[in-house]
Amino acid sequence: MEKQYDPPNIDFPYFLFFTGKGGVGKTSTACATAVSLADRGKRVLLISTDPASNLQDVFGEDFNHEYRHLKAVPRLAVVNIDPEEAAERHRESALAPYRNKLPASVIRSMEEQMAGACTTEIAAFDSFTSFLCDSEVKDKFDHILFDTAPTGHTLRLLQLPKAWSGFIDTNPEGASCLGPLSALAGKKEMYEQAVNTLADGGQTLLALVSRPDETALFEADRSSKELAALDVKNQILIINGLFEITDSEDDTAQAFMDQQQESLTTISDHLKSFTTFQLPFAPLSLTGVGELRSWLAGKHGREAVHTHEVAAEGFEMDDVIGDLSEKGNGLVFTMGKGGVGKTTVAASVALNLVEQGYSVHLTTTDPAEHLSRLFTENHSDLLRVTNIDPKRETEAYRESVLEETSHELNEDELNYLKEDLDSPCTEEIAVFRSFADVVMHSEEDYIVIDTAPTGHTLLLLDSTLSYHREIERSAGHVPESVKNLLPALKDAEKTHILIVTLPEATPVYEAERLESDLKRADLHPKWWIMNQSLSVVPVSDPVLKAKAQVENKWVQRTVTHASKVAIIPWKKQAILNKKQR
């Protein structure tokens, strides 16, 4: 039986982590918890480790890596760990001792080695552990809350303490794509302390946040088990967004509630064993301290929004498919914040192209791969569904490099190479090379790629040249697929990027930031997809009507911003192709 989530009446330990599938409301829950505890007199530090953090959208203030108290809640301090800024600080601290002591060519080589996404990841982790282990910071607060990244990234982050501790223990020769390992070795004691803190239920609690949605609950179950295997066993479950119908004549509202209740029946026995709390459905955007307080009190959005705005109009998915199919072949990406429906849109595009007689390779680079749950059966010879599995690709990459180069190396050089390939960074390189191989070697008319959540996607795309150098360093040569990847991605005749979002504040803000970052890399999105919109569905229930009216504002903003915007109406179950209509 779920209890109402009321933070001041829960016996929280010192550290709280909020995790779950993208879009389930981790940031809103973490922010509301922080405000609630601070309102009761607790000194609270809230830290975002999400590469696509939106704390600034919730509180309306900008934050950086140094904590600063919130103007509206003086007992609450906030930190936003920006991975790129953290990487720059990490690079400089590691290289500074060698400048003016080693030849310029050696420094340039070290700088190149530290230019990749591996350095960005470990730098963010450094910032993360520094707050986890700093006794001076701990003395200043009663609780430290972490608003973590979407699930796949979170798992990688939390796995690093053990991974890096083990790497340092078993690799004394110091091979690392992070550059000088001496700087890393200096962190060993801090990493061990981080491992012990995460495993100590008296100090740490993990809050698994989920929507009443089957996929989100499946993801929470998977995350919980993987984290428990890392000894992070003190966990609770928070079901966010439970809807209660007030107009029984509203078919959409009834279907909306039915879908949630049916999803809740799929909760695993493993999750049922946890203490479970519930949070009400929030029809309006949770931006501002007042909105967060109202939400926890169960009063958010109870008053209908009165507006006479005309519903914004956009294109339909048929228009998107018609546009994509004009070329007869191409590379299609779905990108956006986690939880906005990238996977179902990618699957819909693939199935509709197949219906038109094209052969399609549908694949995903998302570590939290969801395609296999959509395609338990595939009856079309024109459709190939795959996923890029990080563990499988890492092992294949390691074996390939050793087979191709080991005969040229002496014993010491071979040991050095093996140490390098055992580094956790090898996984990033292996996944990237596999991604390039898919783009280069697929023989189908269309390749449709369901990408990872925004932050991971940007790391992947922004790092193209860095990975090029890193693969050359570890493998001795660069495959043609890697050399040709960036030109292929920038070819507007070949590559079509679909930005997928929900008609809500945070997903739209994040989609706009994604578009800006893509344009800086000379990658230009072709379509915007507003997914699961109530604004184009008839509703009379006051809560859903309020949400539909607010959604219209975000649809209107996007239609004004972009020339090609398709709107997908809310449906109880996603409609993938014409055969299902």
Rounded alpha-carbon distances, angstroms, from residue 368 to 114, 363, 371, 449, 464: 27, 13, 9, 14, 22
Give CA–CA dist 323/317, Å, rounded.
10
- CA-based nearest residue to 238, from 200, 280, 269: 280
Q: Are strands 527-533 and 360-364 parallel, antiparallel or unpaired?
A: unpaired
User: Dihedral of CA 336/342/346/352: which sign?
Assistant: negative
Residue 44 bridge partners (DSSP): 76, 143
Cβ atoms of residues 213 and 263 within 8 Å: yes
Here the tokens at position 94 are: 């590691």
* Residues with catalytic roles: 23, 25-28, 50, 506
- CA-based nearest residue to 412, from 420, 424, 404: 420
Residue 235 bridge partners (DSSP): 206
- CA-based nearest residue to 126, from 68, 204, 77, 65: 65
As a whole number of Å, the end-to-end CA separation of the chain is: 37
Helix ranges (H only) for 230-376 are: 251-264, 269-272, 289-296, 317-325, 342-355, 371-374
Q: CB-based contacts of 398: which residues, under 8 Å, 6+ apart?
A: 421, 426, 430
Placement of tokens 């696509």 in the chain: 52
Query: Residue 194: enclosing H or E segment and its boundaries?
Result: helix 188-199
Q: CB-based contacts of 558: which residues, under 8 Å, 6+ apart?
A: 314, 501, 503, 508, 511, 528, 530, 565
- CA-based nearest residue to 165, from 135, 198, 193: 193
Q: CB-based contacts of 173: which residues, under 8 Å, 6+ apart?
A: 415, 416, 419
Here the tokens at position 538 are: 């008839």
Q: Kindly report the number of other CB atoms within 10 A of residue 327's CB atom.
A: 12
Q: Are strands 495-501 and 527-533 parallel, antiparallel or unpaired?
A: parallel
Rounded alpha-carbon distances, angstroms, from residue 477 to 39, 138, 401, 426: 58, 48, 10, 16
Q: What radius of gyration, in Å, describes the C-alpha atoms of the chain?
A: 24
Rounded alpha-carbon distances, angstroms, from residue 428 to 91, 109, 414, 421, 425: 18, 20, 21, 11, 6
